[in-house]
Structure 1
Amino acid sequence: MPWLSALRAAFRLSLWRIRGRPDLGPRALVIAFALHFSLDAWLSWHAIEPPRELYWPHAITLLGAFGVLWLASLTAAKALQRPVLAWSLAGHAALALLPLHLLLRLTLSQPPETVFDWLLALSKPAALNPETRHGALWLLVAAIYGWVVLSRLSCWLARDAQRGRQLLATLWLAAGVLVGFDASRYSTFWYPKWDETPAAEFDAEAAIYAQPELLNDALSKLQAQTPGQQDVYVVAFGGDGAEKVFRNEVEFAAKRFGELFDAQKRTVQLINHPSRVQTTPLATRTNLGVVLRRLGQILDPSEDLLILFMTSHGTEDPSLYVGLDPLPLNQISPTDLKQLLDEAGIRWRIAIISACYSGGFIPSLKSPDSLVITAARADRTSFGCGSGAEYTYFGRAFLIDAMQHATDWREAFEQASTTISRQEAKENLEASEPQFVLGDAIRNRLPPLRQPH
Structure 2
Amino acid sequence: MAGQRAGLIVQICALAMGLALSLALPTRAEAASPFDAWAVVVVAGDWRGAGGGPTKAFDNARRDIAARLSDRGFDAGRISQFSVKPDSALARPATAKAIYETLSAESAQAPGCMVYFTSHGDPQGVVVGDLILPPNILGLMIDRSCGDKPTVVVVSACFSGVFVPALAKPNRMILTAARPDRTSFGCGEADTYPYFDDCFLQVLKDAAHFAALAPGVQACVAAREIHEGVRLPSEPQIWIGPQLRPLLPLLTFAAPASP
| TM-score where L is the length of structure 2 | 0.76
Q: What letter is aligned with 2:213?
A: A
Whether 1:392 aligns to 2:198 is no
> For 1:352 and 1:310, how far apart are their aligned partners in 2?
6
- Aligned residue for 2:115? 308
1:230–1:305 CA contact under 8 A, matched in 2 = no
1:272–1:282 CA contact under 8 A, matched in 2 = yes
Written as runs of structure 1 = structure 2, the 5 A alignment for 1:202-281 is 231-242=37-48, 243-273=55-85, 275-276=87-88, 280-281=91-92
Written as runs of structure 1 = structure 2, the 5 A alignment for 1:191-210 is none
Offset, 1:368? 0.6
Whether 1:339 aligns to 2:145 is no
- Aligned residue for 1:284? 95
> For 1:235 and 1:336, how far apart are their aligned partners in 2?
16
- Aligned residue for 1:381? 183
* Alignment equivalent of 1:448, drawn from 231, 249, 252: 252
> For 1:316 and 1:284, how far apart are their aligned partners in 2?
20
- Aligned residue for 1:415? 216
Q: Could you list the runs of 5+ residues in structure 1 that have no partner in the other structure?
A: 1-225, 324-328
Question: Residue by residue, what CA displacement relative to the aligned partner does 1:348-390 show, whole Å, maximum 9, x if unpaired?
Answer: 2100110001010000001110000001111111101112111
Offset, 1:428? 2.4
**SS at structure 2 position matched to 1:331:** strand
Larger radius of gyration: 1
State how many pairs are aligned: 214
**SS at structure 1 position matched to 2:175:** strand
1:306–1:349 CA contact under 8 A, matched in 2 = yes
2:170–2:244 CA contact under 8 A, matched in 1 = yes
> For 1:314 and 1:420, how far apart are their aligned partners in 2?
17
Offset, 1:260? 1.0
> For 2:254 and 2:208, how far apart are their aligned partners in 1?
5
* Alignment equivalent of 1:425, drawn from 199, 223, 226: 226
- Aligned residue for 1:97? none
CA 426–307 in structure 1, closer or farther in 2 if over 3 Å, else same = same
CA 441–355 in structure 1, closer or farther in 2 if over 3 Å, else same = same
CA 381–230 in structure 1, closer or farther in 2 if over 3 Å, else same = same
Offset, 1:407? 1.5
- Aligned residue for 1:190? none
* Alignment equivalent of 2:131, drawn from 330, 339, 344: 330
CA 292–450 in structure 1, closer or farther in 2 if over 3 Å, else same = closer
Q: Could you list the runs of 5+ residues in structure 2 that have no partner in the other structure?
A: 1-31, 49-54
2:72–2:253 CA contact under 8 A, matched in 1 = yes
**SS at structure 1 position matched to 2:188:** coil
- Aligned residue for 1:297? 108
Question: Residue by residue, what CA displacement relative to the aligned partner does 1:121-167 show, whole Å, maximum 9, x if unpaired?
Answer: xxxxxxxxxxxxxxxxxxxxxxxxxxxxxxxxxxxxxxxxxxxxxxx
- Aligned residue for 2:168? 366
